[in-house]
Amino acid sequence: MTTPTTIDTDTELSAVNSILGAIGQSPVTTLGTITEITGETIYTITKVVATNARADGVVTITSANHGLNTGYTIDWDFLNNGSSDGTFTITKVDDNSFTFVDNEAGGLSSTVCAYTTRTYDIGLTFSDNSQVKLKIGNVLKATGVDYTISGSFLTLTDSAHAASTVNEELKIYREKNVVNTLANPEVSFIYNLLTEVNKDVQNEGWLFNIEKHVKKSPDSNKHITIPADALRYDLHDDFTNRTRNVVRRNGRLYDTYADEPKDEFDGDLYLDIVYLWPYEDLSSVFKRYITYRTAVRAATQLVANPTLVQLLQQQEIFARANCMEYECEQGDHSYFGIPAESVYKSYQPYTVLRR
């Protein structure tokens, strides 16, 4: 029998649209900025073999139909032996040759050379440099780090040129922001509510986001830094750790019982940590609870309809009960407790049948 498959559609977008629908508003197609990609210019990184000559500090390279312009940058290998002899800016072009300044004295030991273009014509109209995007080998590059833009020209930096290879595809395109759905006050408000409720629910500490007996070691400054995705830090087995009481202070652990300095630790600590997970990583039962709880707040603040609020509150209570049922079933809790590094199998009612 074929196992049925389903697609998890409970995303932040679907949650926001559910809440918008509940309060009688139209859905949105995305959260954030919608971009429009227009125009595309594709080049192939090519190593061109040509002839060169130098006179009075000026190098002339003869290459038919080179397609280069004044101000372009090239990487020059005057011996054509696979090593770069420098980066130069073209000062003059003719149909079948171009020149640049090279202050090295004397003639060239070889007339055969090779060059690689580092400057490309963008070939697109754009109103801001941030709209111009570059991919080399289908890898998106960063402006200022991998390339610079001057006028209608794009030039590769040293690091990007060194990382590229001959015959690799270079793609220039324009990406323009068309609309930002979060600019809509209601959509932005609901999305912020969803984010807040997600944090509030997870801050309670559930089976899926609590990790117990986690070993944390101090850094070279004896500090234990608390990561951004941690909602709560607490000492494991507080009952036996009466000499410590840790809290968060300045982004790291702080022992209120210790002598100064209170944020320095000499050894490892074992902690119980409550983590904050993205909405998409939660189980569907918690997603539904967070959505209904957000809908109640949104309806209360955006819609003057007490009846709608009451109906949504009923759904919230039902979803909360489902979360508690999920927690109990998944947790296999026992009043005996299950300490770290131990195994205990709680009593199962069906075992009475074995007597």
Domains and CATH numbers, the chain: 1-28+184-202+283-330 (no CATH), 40-178 (2.40.30.20), 210-275 (no CATH)
- The answer to whether the beta carbons of residues 47 and 81 sit under 8 Å apart is no
The pLDDT of residue 351 is above 70 = no
Question: Can you tell me the distance from the alpha carbon of 102 to that of 105, in angstroms, rounded to the nearest whole number?
Answer: 8
Residue 205 is encoded by which pair of tokens? Answer: 């500490």
Quick check: pTM over 0.85? no
Question: Can you tell me the distance from the alpha carbon of 320 to that of 107, in angstroms, rounded to the nearest whole number?
Answer: 84
DSSP 97-108: EEEEE----S--
Q: Measure the N-to-C terminal CA separation of the chain; round to a whole number of Å.
A: 37
| E strands in 165-225 | 169-180, 210-216
Give residue-wise pLDDT tens across range 183-193.
Answer: 888 899 999 99
Give residue-wise pLDDT tens across range 270-309.
Answer: 889 999 999 988 999 999 999 999 999 999 999 888 999 9
The pLDDT value recorded for residue 198 is 94
